[in-house]
Amino acid sequence: MAQPVGVSDWQLYHNTRADQVLERCRDADIVVTNKVCLDQAILAALPELKFIAVAATGTNNIDLDACRAGNVRVVNATGYGTASVAEHALLLMLALSRKLPAYMAANQQQQWARSDFFCDLVAPMRTLDGKVLTLVGAGTLGNAVADRARAFGMQVVLAERPHAETIRPGYCAFEAALAQGDFVSLHCPLTDQTHELINSTTLALMKPMAILINTGRGALVNEADLLAALSTGQLAGAGLDVAATEPPAADQLIWQLAARDNVLLTPHIAWAADEAMNNLITQINDKIGQYIAHHHNPGEHAAPVGL
């Protein structure tokens, strides 16, 4: 990340352990962070801190109540990766529908060279055209996926929140929406209400030929229940860009999922197109610049730290 405008003293750390946070932030006016926990105890020990810029959308690693009490302003990045994530969700749908991993594996063995025909039909394939896409979460990301899905000829169904007393116009009851989907794509935030929203009960509502797509948060899905559903043929496939624990250790369940030929796993990189990263950096730099312009006197310098 480039040094923000108006900053004279800038220190960048590419990776920060929990036991390094306090020492690295001790003299900072501004902290730029992502996935590093700034809890009440740490914030209380940083009297110079005035501004936290989260280089991501989620602020769950920051004690916002403690920031309010200490008059520390917190900003985040929003909407920077919408196109990147939406395209990745469609990529997973296409790759699984067209059985791309199987065809790439066959090509590695030059299987086509031994074909008796002009083509090498390794595995049956399906189109996206005419299929139903159920979206769980219809915010900015969900709507971006919907726009791209419609361009492929898909019918989009918006799932209402589970256990909702009323159904909003344009939405479908949660259980009915899951039952309709040839693809079910998750774009809702991770909360106490959505934790393991996809589990044995909700998986049982889906079509046996349905494919689950998760580019949201790993804990939206009970991975053991998903593995069972895929193993028994209750579900046709899954495209996952996230895991319940990140990074996942070698013995984590996600690797059993990844080993299946009907699962495509990418390492939480749906957001990470170059354009999205540039959007994020520009947005964070602009917000730091705005803060300095409005809260610092002429000639006064801020000392940020990037974790």
Per annotation, catalytic residue among 161, 246, 260, 296: 246
How far is 6 from 134, CA to CA, in rounded Å? 46
Phi, psi of 219 (to 5 degrees): -75, 0
187 in Cβ contact with 137 (< 8 Å): yes
How far is 286 from 293, CA to CA, in rounded Å? 10
Per annotation, catalytic residue among 268, 295, 300, 301: 268
Q: Is 268 a catalytic residue?
A: yes
Phi, psi of 244 (to 5 degrees): -60, -35
148 in Cβ contact with 87 (< 8 Å): yes
Element containing residue 171 per DSSP (H, E): strand 171-172
Q: Is 246 a catalytic residue?
A: yes
The sheet with strand 51-54 has its strands ordered as 11-12, 304-306, 30-33, 51-54, 73-76
Q: Is 73 a catalytic residue?
A: no
Per annotation, catalytic residue among 88, 148, 217, 223: 217
49 in Cβ contact with 43 (< 8 Å): yes
Which amino acids are annotated catalytic? 217, 246, 268
